[in-house]
Structure 1
Amino acid sequence: MRVLTLLIGAVLALIGIAVAGLGIKLAWLGGSWYYVLAGALMVASGICLVRRKIAATWLALLLLAFTLVWSLWEVGFDFWQLVPRLMTFIVIALVLTLLVPALHGNRRLLGAGPRGVVCLALVASIAGIGYGMFQPHPTVVAEPGATAKVIAPEAGVADGNDWTAYGRNTHGERFAQFDQINKANVKDLQVAWTFHTGDMAINGAEYQGTPLKVDDTVYLCSPLNNVFALDPITGAQKWKFDAHIKETPANAGWKRCRGVGYFDADKATASATPAAGGECRQRIVTTTVDARLIELDAKTGKLCESFGENGVVDLLKGIGPNTDGSYYLTSAPLVAGDVIVVGGKINDNLKTDEPSGVTRGFDVRTGELLWAWDARNPKRGVPLPEGELYPKESPNFWGTAAFDEKLGLVYIPTGNQTPDFWNGNRHEGSDEYNDSIVAIDVKTGVDAWHFRTANNDMFDYDVSAQPILYDLPNKEGGTTPVIIAMTKRGQIFVLDRRDGKPVFPVEQRKVATDGVPGMRISPTQPYSQLSVGAEKLKESDMWGATVFDQLLCRIDFKEMRWEGEFTPIVEGQRTLIYPGYYGGINWGGGAIDASTGTLIVNDIRMAQWGRFIKREKAKEIGLKPSTEGEYSEQLGTPWGVERSMFVSPLGVPCFKPPFGTMTAIDLTTGKTKWQVPMGSIQDAPVHGIVPGVNMPLGMPTMGGPLVTKGGLTFFHGTLDYYIRALDNDSGKELWRGRLPVGGQGAPMSYVGRDGKQYVVITVGGATRTNTNDNRGRIARRGEIMRQAVLTTC
């Protein structure tokens, strides 16, 4: 026993010295003094234990009490914040209490009885924390028994039993009025059918699509832009179209197809007719990662030869020389009446002189270019004369647009002029239209209004989510037609879609402006009354799996530049970036329960850091340039940029959980009804180690939700291998189903010819892990799963 106390005491003292030493550094940086005092108590307790004095146990209990008081003062009863603060010291106190019989001194207050009570309390605390680690901890708890009031009973009915556009309709609602699957029977969901595309989701090919269902066919695309038509009841393939995409240096590591469009000439109002013989009266519209716009006969999968040149339009026309393939498309095209609206993806951060970000409208029947909208020439509208090129370096639109058929307006979300982190070379139109919602006349291509969600963007805060159009009840007893713009900043702007004026208040707040010479930095930025996960980080928000990496994260935080969101990047010193450039709310967007006016949206909460670096120095230290990695050259600007995730030495985020949530906002009041963590650590590798336990910490999310009138929100864009159904009124998880691999798309739902409701999801692997391993056994065989589930009752 003497050797044991000597060993434990020495280790405790050494750990205490390290904690105190690092604590002194933190305090010198202006941080908390707690760690200095805690380290000193650990050292004193360790020395007493080496000397076998009972004071060691009293000091350990004092340290625990001191830590408890400090923790509650700093973070209140936030469970995940308390765990790393308390667990280490509870274990220390338990060990030293168990060692009391081997120690010298007055044991009257720590006799067998009291000691047993203390040990029991400490063990119970450990057990309680252990239990709590496997329970969800909502950030906003729903009011008990609260039920959303139905204010639009007929919502969704006009769309029938189908899902005819990326967001179910051109309003992007992602709401299905079906209630066959509901809160009472969702637990009975079973797999109905599985379809394998045969395209492997590896080497940059990501399955992020949402299928369509029209009449008696499901349509979907793979990351290689192959299109499939399936029987919606059995999953049997009806036809396949092979796009035969051309691989370029840019798309070699970035292949996506988030969805296709649909056009029905028999239901269109225009008098024009499609090809003779009745072919292509119903059409599938798709784009490719080698910049083509294609139309297929929805019945046969054959090219519509009357469209473009034998069914294909070359989207590089007017873009200019593009030898590196830096212009291509990944998101679902919008079919706005008789017009197809497409934007394009442009590589971030590699260089200046990137292609135009022009948005174009094409005749859905002929493929004729009807109009073109560009931020550098926003009022032109008409296409360029033959042989001319659209101006380079304009903000692009790479997500999916929305369309109001009554107003005749298309709403596009824009990005910014690249490179993202250096904005000293921005053009006037780029500054005016970056990170905006732009309302474009579908007939003329001229913008009616625009609203900027960020001023002088310098953090890749592209607006990429499809906007949601909704008729919001107003105080006068009518409705206001609004557009809901969800942003990477976590700000949610609700605007009157007739003129772009805010319906929920927006204010311009002052931000830091101390950047490097040449940067264009706005002194203010817009902030909405509605936001998700956009709170300013502070030192007490720093986290870690243990007290030790939490301390190191605090030091890193204090050493970084951080005056709040939009703190400019400089050379040398790291600048914290939060919300991060992945979001907030990324391309997955949200959904609205149109029957109750409840907006439901998932988000990402991952901080990053960045700093400018001379390209010569980056080369010296071996940084490898890329568009998405930890170093980008930004050729044509004064600086390269080095950036990374803000994580602890153990590889876990340096800031408090959750790292991804699902949030419900009542748009009739602006109140957040509930907010719950989404996803567990079960399948998320850290340094190659997969935890394998369902601990619902709340992980970064991708894709978007599906909301149904059955009172359910379906979601599967987490880092673990599950699809979940949440209660729309409380956020409580009512069911989850295990998948073969992770998913990234948004679910969709329809009622088949058999009268049953189906929920269909794309399952091809978790997102952006820089490995093919998490694609799973099925995916590695090239059998990417598409799954439908239904009730068994």
Structure 2
Amino acid sequence: MRTRLRIPPALVALLLLAMPPCAAWESWGGDAGGSRFSPLREITPDNVGQLVRAFEYHTGDLIARPPEVMRRTKFQATPLFVEDSLIFCSPFNEVIALDPGTGAQKWRFDPKIATNQRPANRYVCRGVTYWVDDHAPANAACRSRIFMGTNDVRLIALDARTGIPCAGFGKGGEIKLEIGMRLEWPGEFQITSPPAVGRGVVVVGSSIGDNSRVDAPSGMVRAFDARSGEPRWTFEPLKRDGIEAGHANVWAPMSVDETRGLVFLPTTSPSPDFWGGKRPGNNEHANSVVALRIETGELVWAFQTVHHDVWDYDLPAQPTLTRLDTGDGQRDVVIQPTKQGFVFVLDRDTGKPVWPVEERAVPQGGAEGEKLSPTQPFPTHVPALTSQTISTDDALSLLPGLMRSSCERQFAAARNEGLFTPPSVQGTLEFPFTGGGVNWGSAAYDPVHQILYANTSRAVHLIKLIPRAEAAGFNPPPGHDFGRQRGAPFAMSRAMVTSPLGFLCNKPPWGEMVAVDLKAGRILWRSTVGTTEDLAPLGVPLPWGAPLLNGLAVTAGGLVFTGAMDAYLRAFDARSGRELWQGRLPVPGVANPMTYLWKGEQYVAIGAGGHSEAGTSIGDSVVAFRLARPGEAPSLWSRTIDRPGGRFLAATSAITLAIITLVMVGLRWRRRRRSRQS
């Protein structure tokens, strides 16, 4: 049992009044600083079981688009609540405005992007950006605007009230970005996250295909006048200094401090990801939090979280801007979670760590031609959100004691010296995997209690370098990602380490929500999120969690909401981490939830369209829940969590899985026996 600091109600009210108003959820991260915190408190741990489905809206893509196109989509959009509308984008960059109470469509804009391309990161749009031009007359067209970057590399501005393109922005409401070089295929270069906007400037990053070539397109960040679309500045994240590499782009959402006039960029690794012999040194400002003057693009500071990255440990999460009591007084900070599970807390004005960060020796002996950094930065105050070592003892064995599992054999055959073990021809275990720790869903922060909440993923990648002479004829097995890394002496393959039944090879949980007291530097609780219900054979709902790429939302009502790889929206008690409620979705909601107040009622909404790369079912919906009204019947799509019932379900599922495993083992033994006899 943990104790918790009790804050007087009057102080809580004062703190809520002092915070930027985000009851409207006007930004992708709730506010421009990405806190994902809402002061709404109508829905509480006591009444969350009374949530009912308010509406389910379908974009129509599932019917209108061919199945082979829909299989290349990821629905990751978080709606905004602005101009009395819910506004979001589909994976095909259609911008849609809904009535927030009924889900009825108010307007829709279709940029008509081509669907015959092969986007490197699938068709995806994480969200749009809202901006109000205070210099424009109150009723002027495009006084309030929606900005969106597209899969086909356009920046579009729409009137937020009507969805009509802003004629005075660029050419007919859009700008086509100049990439500066020939693409290897249509879709090598995309924009997948919402632009950042502040002080009349709109800033856009890019998402670029990984591991295709050394001389990949530049990851240049571009800024435009938010009114006219005229170019304002560009920033190249990677310091070239004669090195040979591409991008170090910004594909994740950025954050803005309007008062300071700063935009914060989470940058990626240089190309290619897994061999850097042609880019010696630390590769500044890749893998860094970078602060720029939003009006000029001037570099203010940069802090690097990985030196000379050869693990694809780029920064996928939006930097969180907040005010924190560090023990030495209040400070404005930037909180940056990472794929490794680290949490870096930086001073917002200087970029210097608030608490010490140590340079620690890491494994050496990289591939031929590689020049690794001898050390990497490790935060010392805030503990890692997830485990960072893996061994054969951690291998999943469904029939322990009867046989050495396939997982143990795979673990034992690979190079594995802990975090930052370099990629190898032998094959290297990378744990956390390249989608591990905290991903694009980012973290949420409760500024009243100073608690950080984050979804984390636990899985193992096997990374293999393939000598160039062997790469031409290499045929990757199913489930293996293959990158040619042209211009490097090695190609690469990457695969999740899984069992013959398709389960992840490391012991569960595979997805956890973590709560951290930043000031004290300690983990408050962990809670497993998700089951295998919508992923496993026969829908067996093992309570083992699932990788959590998506983020969450925390409320002053004491709840944390999240989606998962199974088709449920969940609510957890923010104090204890106990799961309280599940709302069934048509398909998994691998997106960030949001909450808003409409006509006196609090709603919680999430995009439910699935995730093609994760192998989930695919859909095209946005679903919203609210508390039941007087006399309203309980929803069939909503249920509270009965702990004893949950234990019974887990036991039943485990027995079912054991039976399936025994049957499959028997079939494999029978096939082998027949093979020997023949």
In the alignment, which residue of structure 1 is the partner of 2:522? 671
Cα distance, 1:549 vs. partner? 6.2
Change (3 A) 1:169 1:225: same
Preserved CA contact (<8 Å) 1:549 1:648: no
Preserved CA contact (<8 Å) 1:720 1:742: yes
Equivalent residue runs for 1:217-228 within 5 Å: 217-228=85-96
Cα distance, 1:152 vs. partner? 5.1
Q: Secondary structure at the match of 2:180?
A: coil
Task: Report which of the two structures shows the higher radius of gyration computed on alpha carbons.
Answer: 1
Partners of 1:549 and 1:396 lie apart in 2 by 46
In the alignment, which residue of structure 2 is the partner of 1:457? 309
In the alignment, which residue of structure 2 is the partner of 1:41? none
1:256 aligns with 2:117: no
1:622 aligns with 2:475: yes
Match of 1:596 among 439, 449, 460: 449
In the alignment, which residue of structure 1 is the partner of 2:16? 155
Letter in 2 for 1:513: Q
1:433 aligns with 2:269: no
Cα distance, 1:514 vs. partner? 0.6
Change (3 A) 1:250 1:767: closer
Partners of 2:139 and 2:280 lie apart in 1 by 50
Cα distance, 1:534 vs. partner? 3.3
Partners of 1:444 and 1:171 lie apart in 2 by 20
Partners of 1:282 and 1:633 lie apart in 2 by 45
In the alignment, which residue of structure 2 is the partner of 1:319? 180
1:637 aligns with 2:473: no
Preserved CA contact (<8 Å) 1:491 1:534: no
1:708 aligns with 2:555: yes
Letter in 2 for 1:257: C
1:203 aligns with 2:71: yes
1:351 aligns with 2:199: no
Change (3 A) 1:419 1:537: same
In the alignment, which residue of structure 1 is the partner of 2:147? 285
In the alignment, which residue of structure 2 is the partner of 1:71? none
Partners of 1:541 and 1:742 lie apart in 2 by 28
Q: Secondary structure at the match of 1:602?
A: strand
Preserved CA contact (<8 Å) 1:624 1:631: no
> Deviation digits for residues 318-373 of structure 1, max 9, x if unmatched?
53333623211011111223111111011001112211101111111011111111
Change (3 A) 1:484 1:252: closer
Match of 1:421 among 274, 299, 315: 274
The alignment covers a number of residue pairs equal to: 613
Q: Secondary structure at the match of 2:539?
A: coil
**Scaled by the length of structure 2, what TM-score is found?**
0.86
Preserved CA contact (<8 Å) 1:421 1:458: yes
1:495 aligns with 2:346: yes
Partners of 1:344 and 1:673 lie apart in 2 by 36
Q: Secondary structure at the match of 2:378?
A: strand
Match of 1:566 among 415, 420, 435: 420
Cα distance, 1:170 vs. partner? 0.7
Q: Secondary structure at the match of 2:157?
A: strand
Letter in 1 for 2:416: W
Query: In percent, how many aligned pairs have the same letter?
Result: 38
Cα distance, 1:420 vs. partner? 0.6
Letter in 2 for 1:690: L
Match of 2:327 among 451, 469, 475: 475
In the alignment, which residue of structure 2 is the partner of 1:186? 48
Higher helix proportion (structure 1 or 2): 1
Partners of 1:445 and 1:762 lie apart in 2 by 33
Preserved CA contact (<8 Å) 2:317 2:442: yes
Partners of 1:646 and 1:332 lie apart in 2 by 32
1:576 aligns with 2:429: yes
Q: Secondary structure at the match of 2:224?
A: strand
Cα distance, 1:591 vs. partner? 0.5
Preserved CA contact (<8 Å) 2:194 2:253: yes
Preserved CA contact (<8 Å) 2:148 2:194: yes
Q: Secondary structure at the match of 1:735?
A: strand
Q: Secondary structure at the match of 2:605?
A: strand
In the alignment, which residue of structure 1 is the partner of 2:627? 791
- Give structure 1 stretches of 5+ with no counterpart: 1-142, 380-390
Cα distance, 1:700 vs. partner? 0.7
Preserved CA contact (<8 Å) 1:217 1:231: yes
In the alignment, which residue of structure 1 is the partner of 2:193? 331
Partners of 1:581 and 1:432 lie apart in 2 by 20
Letter in 2 for 1:468: T
Cα distance, 1:745 vs. partner? 0.7
Partners of 1:461 and 1:169 lie apart in 2 by 26
Cα distance, 1:278 vs. partner? 1.4
Q: Secondary structure at the match of 1:558?
A: helix
Change (3 A) 1:674 1:253: closer
Partners of 2:352 and 2:46 lie apart in 1 by 41
Partners of 2:389 and 2:457 lie apart in 1 by 15
Cα distance, 1:691 vs. partner? 3.0
1:647 aligns with 2:501: no
In the alignment, which residue of structure 1 is the partner of 2:466? 613
In the alignment, which residue of structure 1 is the partner of 2:203? 341
Preserved CA contact (<8 Å) 1:756 1:790: yes
Cα distance, 1:619 vs. partner? 4.5
Q: Secondary structure at the match of 1:768?
A: helix
1:760 aligns with 2:627: no
Partners of 1:336 and 1:248 lie apart in 2 by 35
Match of 1:719 among 565, 577, 580: 565
In the alignment, which residue of structure 1 is the partner of 2:255? 402
Match of 1:691 among 536, 539, 542: 539
Partners of 1:610 and 1:161 lie apart in 2 by 44
Preserved CA contact (<8 Å) 1:228 1:240: yes
Cα distance, 1:616 vs. partner? 4.3
> Deviation digits for residues 153-212 of structure 1, max 9, x if unmatched?
433753153111101111100100000011110000001112111123822111101000
Partners of 1:252 and 1:395 lie apart in 2 by 16
Q: Secondary structure at the match of 1:278?
A: coil
> Deviation digits for residues 106-160 of structure 1, max 9, x if unmatched?
xxxxxxxxxxxxxxxxxxxxxxxxxxxxxxxxxxxxx356466476543375315
Preserved CA contact (<8 Å) 1:549 1:649: no
Partners of 2:22 and 2:503 lie apart in 1 by 46
> Deviation digits for residues 190-239 of structure 1, max 9, x if unmatched?
01112111123822111101000113111011000000111111111111
Partners of 1:408 and 1:551 lie apart in 2 by 55
Letter in 2 for 1:666: D
Preserved CA contact (<8 Å) 1:176 1:709: yes
In the alignment, which residue of structure 1 is the partner of 2:649? none
Partners of 1:496 and 1:532 lie apart in 2 by 21
Letter in 1 for 2:104: A
> Deviation digits for residues 436-474 of structure 1, max 9, x if unmatched?
100111121011111111111001111011010110013
- Give structure 2 stretches of 5+ with no counterpart: 63-68, 630-678
Preserved CA contact (<8 Å) 1:212 1:220: yes
Q: Secondary structure at the match of 1:526?
A: strand
In the alignment, which residue of structure 2 is the partner of 1:70? none
Preserved CA contact (<8 Å) 2:362 2:375: yes
Higher strand proportion (structure 1 or 2): 2
1:301 aligns with 2:163: yes
Cα distance, 1:288 vs. partner? 0.4
Partners of 2:326 and 2:486 lie apart in 1 by 50
Letter in 2 for 1:343: G
